[in-house]
Amino acid sequence: MESIFASLLAPYQEYSTLNVFLEFTAVFFGLLSVWFSKKNNILVYPTGIVSTLIFVYLLYNWGLLGDMLINAYYFSMSIYGWYYWTRKKGTNDLNPITRMNQFEFRMAQGLFIFALLFVFLVYSFFDKWNSIIAYVDTFTTAIFFVGMWLMARRKIEHWLFWIVGDLVSIPLYYFKGYSLTGIQYLIFTIIAVAGLYTWKKELYERG
């Protein structure tokens, strides 16, 4: 057990106190955001914005361009999602939880391909194709791009993208040496599975 904790904490020995504090804060607000998403609560967006802004700064300093782009995109989609979720007609939500239609399915496919190409070009420009991490990072970026867009649109399928992306990110961040963030994605996976169940139940009860 001690060796496990030692391996988790080892990368942080070279961290500044500020960066450790910032990563912990970003993880905390990230977990809050996913928890509020599970609850279908609008607070998913302000808490998510705090987390993503901090991660944009950290990931830029770490040189993880794909992850940085994900969080910059999360920030912009959080603004859109915040607006989309708050639209009401009287006391009723104009945009409740629904499933993807054919147009949104095609949009999701297009966004996935666009994200792959975009991150490929970014990594090529900065000459970052130097390890398997870059390829996995490109894949997870595309997965999360689609997941975030579907969440902003309040589509139940977004949980499937989160689950896949989170599962890949757990060992990826541990391998990168950012174990706190890896633990965050482990908890994200658990909450995402619960969130999928909760949203399915709400969708079923609404008929």
- 92-140 pLDDT, tens digit each: 888 899 999 999 999 999 999 999 998 888 888 878 788 888 888 889 8
* Other beta carbons within 10 Å of 54: 21
Q: How far apart are CA 187 and CA 175, in angstroms?
A: 17
Q: Note the pLDDT of residue 67.
A: 75
pLDDT per residue over 132-168, tens digit each? 888 888 898 899 999 999 999 999 999 999 999 999 9
Least confident of 3-12, 73-82, 187-196: 3-12
Average pLDDT estimate for 36-58: 94
Q: Note the pLDDT of residue 132.
A: 86
HSE of 100, CA atoms in CB hemisphere, 13 A: 18
Q: pLDDT class for 11, splitting at 50, 70, 90? A: low
Integer CA distances (angstroms), 187 to 12, 73, 95, 166, 170, in order: 20, 22, 28, 9, 9
Q: Note the pLDDT of residue 131.
A: 83
| Mean pLDDT score across all residues of the chain | 87
Q: How far apart are CA 193 and CA 123, in angstroms?
A: 32
DSSP 153: T
